[in-house]
């Protein structure tokens, strides 16, 4: 059976388990960790020093980190993309909104219904949101998978 895209059945799985995907994922992970740590530091400062609401601060710092991630993604992670800068940024922001929704929903659930510290909750939800955003950007936005 063939998929609508013309790839043989299982083509998506082969692309996900390819060397190219591993390289992209490795680069994305390096950038993600760096911008995440920056965002986490900003989150701590906003909440602890600025007394900003935890949920609002999480959203703001997520968007700051996402914008930096796009810049590094365009120049290093997804080198060779044919998508234009402006449409690519727009698509990246749409994907970021999906990641932000995942982040905020899971963060809210964890901080409301468990005794987990808000910074640990943020780390935990970032894994799920980050994977979703990587797949969306690698396959659909930058079309490198």
Query: Is 115 contained in some domain?
Result: yes
Question: Who's near 136: CB < 8 A, 6+ residues apart?
Answer: 95, 98
Query: Is 15 contained in some domain?
Result: no
Query: Is 92 contained in some domain?
Result: yes
pLDDT tens per residue, the chain (145 residues)?
A: 334 455 555 687 888 889 999 999 999 999 989 998 999 899 999 999 999 999 899 889 988 988 899 999 999 999 988 999 999 989 998 998 898 899 999 999 999 999 999 989 988 998 899 899 899 999 999 989 8
Range(s) of the domain holding residue 39: 20-141
pTM: 0.73
Length of the chain: 145
Provide the domain count of the chain.
1
């Amino acid at each position: 059976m063939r998929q609508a895209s013309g790839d043989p059945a299982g083509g998506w799985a082969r692309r996900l388990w390819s060397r190219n995907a591993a390289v992209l994922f490795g680069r994305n992970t390096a950038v993600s960790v760096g911008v995440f740590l920056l965002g986490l530091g900003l989150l701590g400062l906003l909440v602890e020093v600025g007394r900003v609401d935890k949920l609002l601060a999480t959203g703001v710092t997520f968007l700051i980190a996402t914008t930096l991630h796009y810049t590094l993604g365009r120049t290093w992670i997804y080198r060779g993309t044919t998508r234009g800068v402006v449409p690519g940024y727009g698509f990246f922001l749409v994907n970021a909104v999906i990641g932000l929704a995942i982040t905020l929903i899971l963060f809210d659930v964890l901080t409301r219904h468990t005794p987990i510290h808000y910074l640990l909750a943020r780390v935990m939800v970032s894994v799920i949101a980050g994977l979703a955003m990587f797949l969306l950007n690698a396959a659909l936005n930058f079309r490198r998978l």
